[in-house]
Amino acid sequence: MLSSLGVVHTTQQSRALTAQLEQAQRYRDELRYEQERLLLERGAWSAYSRIEQVARERLDMRAPTPGERILVRSGR
């Protein structure tokens, strides 16, 4: 009788721990996805800021003033 109660308890504990493990693995996968998304976003922003920096420093470029802007209409 005692050993059968031990088996039932152990089985129940194993199921609970398996459920916790699966939940932790899902959370880990969500965090990995978020990390990849953030790394891509950081790469995009750093590339843009690097281009802007090179344009300003090496090529002496700047944004045009409103008086220097020319609007071109599309022929469509």
Q: What is the pLDDT of residues 4-39, one digit of tens each?
A: 888 889 999 999 999 999 999 999 999 999 999 999
Position 5 scores a pLDDT of 87
Residue 42 pLDDT greater than 80, yes or no: yes
CB atoms within 10 A of CB 71: 4
pLDDT in tens, 47-71: 888 888 889 999 999 989 999 999 8
CB 32 within 8 A of CB 38: no
This prediction has a pTM of 0.55
Three-state secondary structure call for residue 52: helix
